Amino acid sequence: MAGCLQTFINDFTDFYVTDTNVFTVNSITDISCHDEIILSNTVQLDATHSTNAVNVSTDDTPYDNNVLTDDNNEANISNLNLGCLETLENPYEQLAKFRKTNFRKIIFSHLNINSLCNKYVEIHGILQKNLTDIFFVSETKLDNSYPSAQFNVPSFVIHRIDRNAHGGGLLCYVKETLPHKSRPDISINANGIESIAIQIKNDKVNMFFLHIYKPPNININVLNLALETMLNRCLQESSNVIIIGDLNVNFSLNPNQLTNICDTYDLKQIVKGPTCFKSIINPSLLDVILTSCPKSMTLPINLPLGISDFHNYVSAATKINCPTNEPTLIAYRSMKYFKEEIYKHDLSVAPFHVSQVFDDVDDQIWFHNSLLLNLIDKNAPKKHKIITLKQ
pLDDT tens per residue, range 4-42: 334 443 443 343 333 333 333 443 334 333 333 333 333
Residues 218 and 347 in one domain: no
244-294 pLDDT, tens per residue?
Answer: 999 999 999 999 999 999 999 999 999 999 999 998 899 999 999 999 999
Is residue 69 helix, strand or coil? coil
Residues 55 and 105 in one domain: no
**DSSP-assigned letter for residue 292:** S
Residue that terminates a domain, selected from 71, 87, 103: 87
Residues 285 and 350 in one domain: no
What range does the domain containing 350 cover? Answer: 328-387
- Greatest Cα pair distance in the chain: 98
Is residue 376 helix, strand or coil? helix
* Residues of the chain with confidence (pLDDT) below 50: 1-87, 389-391
- Residue 330: the pLDDT is 84
Residues 269 and 294 in one domain: yes
Closest CA to 16 of 47, 51, 41: 51
Residues 32 and 113 in one domain: no
User: Cis omega before residue 323 (within 30°)?
Assistant: no
Instruction: Report how many helices (DSSP H) and strands (DSSP E) the chain contains, helices first.
Output: 7, 20
Residues in CB range of 240: below 8 A, 6 or more apart: 206, 207, 208, 292, 293, 296
Closest CA to 356 of 347, 365, 348: 365
CB 290 within 8 Å of CB 243: yes
Residue that terminates a domain, selected from 87, 114, 145: 87
**Number of domains, the chain:** 3
CA distance 292 to 353: 69
Q: What CATH number is associated with residue 185?
A: 3.60.10.10
Residues 241 and 224 in one domain: yes
Residues 260 and 367 in one domain: no
Residues 130 and 263 in one domain: yes
Residue that terminates a domain, selected from 301, 321, 341: 321
Single-letter amino acid code for the residue at 201: K
Q: Is 188 exposed, middle or buried (0-12, 13-18, 19+ CB in 10 A)?
A: buried
Cα-to-chain-centroid distance, residue 384: 34
Residues 79 and 148 in one domain: no
**DSSP-assigned letter for residue 66:** T
Give the bridge partners for 301, in sequence order.
315
Single-letter amino acid code for the residue at 36: E
CB 261 within 8 Å of CB 228: yes
- Residue 225: the pLDDT is 97
The residue count for the chain:
391
CA distance 190 to 212: 12
Residues 198 and 345 in one domain: no
CA distance 265 to 98: 29
Residues 315 and 173 in one domain: yes
Q: Is 134 exposed, middle or buried (0-12, 13-18, 19+ CB in 10 A)?
A: buried
Residues 244 and 375 in one domain: no
